[in-house]
Structure 1
Amino acid sequence: MTTIPDQSEVTRTDSAAGRARLLAALDGIADELQVEGPACDEAGRLTDRTMELLRDSGLGWIWVSKDLGGLELSASDATLVFERLAYLDGSIGWTGGIFLGSGPFLAYYDKSVAKSILADGVPNISATAYPSGRAVQVEGGYRITASYSYCSGLPNADYVLCTSTLFDGDQPLPAPPLMFLVPASEATLEGNWDTIGLRGTGSVDFTVTDAFVPEHLAVSPFAPPRNPGIATAGLLPLIHLGRLSWASGTARRLLDEIAAHASRDPKPGAARLADNPVFRTEFADFELAYRAARALGIEAIAELDAALASGEQLSRRATTVLTGASVHMHDVCRDIALWAFNKGGGTALRAGKLQRVVRDALSGGQHAIAGRSLLPDVGHEFIGAPPELQWLGPVLAELPAL
């Protein structure tokens, strides 16, 4: 008698196999990616060799749905891949994580459109979060004129998603904003990315002037995705997952770097930092804080997977826990970075691995979607927010009418 396997178990097995494949691919290119990291910082973008390594690894297929030829990893399995990429290098992990989100973005387009975009492989898609653009409907599509800031990965992108408000002449229309898929070649890069860390992300300002976008490449970020897969969780939870994974991988690297520094043989007449009981106590505090924060993140991401498996929407409560877990992990990462810089002495002051990880960790903690400004709304949920409110970016608010 043949037992038909449970479909959810088959899905989990496929996802675990995909995770193992991608982690093995990352292990194969880890040393070279770390060599490229400083060059990415110097260039203000990922180097051509970095992009080649990421493309050839197959990482881009991580969240493309299976019916489009992708791996469609679970949120929990993808998290381990994102963490590993961030551990190897802050800028590569940050930008690569954004590009690995191309699959969920494509899920908002008709399947035939998504297939055509994937014809030459998974494209690298950068994106803007705030609807500061101006879109006017014309025959066959829209004309977009806009200025944006903080567009991570744009110097390396094939496309950029521009979120824009619809206008009729000079008047904004009472309609939710749309996302427009614009070729990156139509964006004018304005620079403005001279930063303390994450320099290789190229998170530049840019403008788009009277760019035409065909109607089939305009979608609503508030509408359900048109294709199955991880995108059904919603874009906001996936953004939190990406930021949480990045902070987790970066915090782990910080702890490992300062532990290696503390264990080195000292100069004659000096003692190893690792032999100092005060240092060991402080290290234990931060190691335990990191593990606790990561456990909370894993719990929140497992709830996301459970909602996807049951076909249900991720609840506001679950989204809030994921949001809070991301903010908390960034706080822990920032605290470790400041402590590691202090304990690293001259090693942390000079150019090198420890200094770069410290700078990247502090820079990543500045992101609005992972900042402490979200905590009042997280507290609102835990205390008892009105049921009609939902998460819209970094605020709890009423959903706009579709």
Structure 2
Amino acid sequence: MGKLPGATIADLQNARLFDMAVPRMYGGQQSSLRTLMDAVVEIGQGDGSVAWTLAILHGGTWMAAACYPKHVTDEIFAPGENTRVATVFMPRRAKTKRINGGVMIEEGIWNFNSGVYHAQWDILGIPIIDEASQIIDRASALIPISQVSLLNDWDTIGLRGSGSTSVAVKNVFVPNERLAFHSKTQQENFAADHLRNEPLYQLPILPFLAAKLVFPALGMAKGALELFIDKASQRSISFTFYEKQDEAAVTHLQVAEASAKIDAAELMLRRCLDDLEASTASGTSMPMEQRARIWRDAGFASRLIWEVVDMLAGASGGGFAQSANPMNQYWRDVRVAGLHGGICPNTTLEVFGRILCGKTPNAPLLQPHGND
């Protein structure tokens, strides 16, 4: 099944790109959100699967640093470990049982575990069940990869190299120290007390991780536009007198609209990052409406990016149909990236619209804070 080659992972590691979310106290880069975005967007222009894998592993590594106590993070980020952490929030199905000292995952399957082939740890979302078999909370369970079964079922039209296979867990005990309960993490009540004064590790989880999902596609859209403009000077428009596509007014309109939508998506995402960093720097909790707005912006930026790449693909001529055509790869990768449930525009727009209408957000990962 598709995954990145070892040489690519080595290149990313040697460039210390996997260290961007690792705290400085463990020898990491502890990079700003802007640095993360710039790196992922740049890589996305060349290869969507590499950018997607890097972005997802960054999120898992960030969660591992922020959401668990120091004696756990000491183990995760031990010297020389080159730590990479994959993550999936929602299981396809999971059966758990509370027992002394933690939770037993009796069985569970999680889809789309991007980057897991290259990770040492996996963070899997699980339900927390009471004695009446009712879900009373959810938690992010930190599990060594040795206890996770990779199902090798990633066979898709796009992002084929991301290795986003399904995984399964059976009869795995997760101690309380490796459980990050969502009722706490949604309030930024993170267990990493030793990082309490580091704003990077106080980010509100949902809007941060959602915005980050769009970075790879933004890079792909930029790459697609550059490719289109380059090829437009080398091909004609069939059944017209245009010997070069870039001489036609319709082409000028298309590239101008594409560049405007790319700029709009990028400006929205950068505003999201500015708001996230401003909130954590001030030490105040971000209001739910602002969280929802960032989530909405991530979904809407994803839609703008898809519109760009789909338009450019449609204007690329019959050669686009060839699977080896680079524009074809951008198109497939952006389409698959936009299918992620965390940035589905219908979901993000509905959630924000509900809040504007004075209703609850109807989203388990977006709950009121004390200041809402």
Which interval holds the TM-score relative to the shorter structure?
Answer: 0.7 to 0.9
Task: Output the CA distance in 1 between the equivalents of 2:363 and 2:28.
Answer: 29
- 5 Å-filtered alignment, 1:169-180, equals 171-172=132-133, 175-180=136-141
Task: Output the CA distance in 2 between the equivalents of 1:76 and 1:308.
Answer: 14
Task: Output the CA distance in 2 between the equivalents of 1:57 and 1:345.
Answer: 38
Task: Output the CA distance in 2 between the equivalents of 1:391 and 1:143.
Answer: 26
Task: Output the CA distance in 1 between the equivalents of 2:124 and 2:264.
Answer: 37
Q: Is the 8 A contact 2:351 2:363 kept in 1?
A: no
- Structure 1 residues 85 and 166 mapped into 2: Cα distance closer, same or farther (>3 Å)? same
Equivalenced residue count is: 352
Opposite residue 303 of structure 1, the aligned amino acid is D
Q: Any idea what the Cα deviations from partners look like across 1:268-314, whole Å, max 9, x if unmatched?
A: x9611111111111211121122122212212221111111111122
- Structure 1 residues 174 and 78 mapped into 2: Cα distance closer, same or farther (>3 Å)? same
Structure 2 regions of 5+ residues with no counterpart?
A: none
Deviation at 1:183, TM superposition (A): 1.8
SS across alignment from 1:44: coil
Deviation at 1:222, TM superposition (A): 3.3
Instruction: State the match for 1:264 in structure 2.
Output: 234
Instruction: State the match for 1:86 in structure 2.
Output: 44
- 5 Å-filtered alignment, 1:162-241, equals 162-167=124-129, 171-172=132-133, 175-223=136-184, 224-225=189-190, 226=192, 227-228=195-196, 229=198, 230-241=200-211
Matched, 1:59 2:17: yes
SS across alignment from 1:121: coil
Instruction: State the match for 1:24 in structure 2.
Output: none
Deviation at 1:331, TM superposition (A): 1.0
Instruction: State the match for 2:119 in structure 1.
Output: 157
Q: Any idea what the Cα deviations from partners look like across 1:59-87, whole Å, max 9, x if unmatched?
A: 12212233333322222332222222222
SS across alignment from 1:203: coil
Task: Output the CA distance in 1 between the equivalents of 2:89 and 2:220.
Answer: 23
Matched, 1:302 2:284: no
Q: Which runs of 4+ in 1 moved over 4 A?
A: 388-391, 396-399
Identity among equivalent positions (%) equals: 21
Opposite residue 263 of structure 1, the aligned amino acid is S
Matched, 1:353 2:331: no
SS across alignment from 1:219: strand
Instruction: Output the TM-score relative to the length of structure 1.
Output: 0.80
Deviation at 1:45, TM superposition (A): 0.9
Instruction: State the match for 1:125 in structure 2.
Output: 85
Instruction: Output the TM-score relative to the length of structure 2.
Output: 0.86
Instruction: State the match for 1:14 in structure 2.
Output: none
Instruction: State the match for 2:103 in structure 1.
Output: 142
Which range is displaced more, 304-313 or 320-329? 320-329
Matched, 1:104 2:104: no
SS across alignment from 1:299: helix
Matched, 1:250 2:206: no
Task: Output the CA distance in 2 between the equivalents of 1:389 and 1:377.
Answer: 5
- Structure 1 residues 92 and 165 mapped into 2: Cα distance closer, same or farther (>3 Å)? same
Task: Output the CA distance in 2 between the equivalents of 1:189 and 1:280.
Answer: 47
SS across alignment from 2:68: coil
Instruction: State the match for 2:299 in structure 1.
Output: 327
Deviation at 1:139, TM superposition (A): 4.6
- 5 Å-filtered alignment, 1:374-385, equals 374=347, 375-381=349-355, 383-385=356-358
Greater helix share, 1 or 2? 1
- Structure 1 residues 286 and 105 mapped into 2: Cα distance closer, same or farther (>3 Å)? same
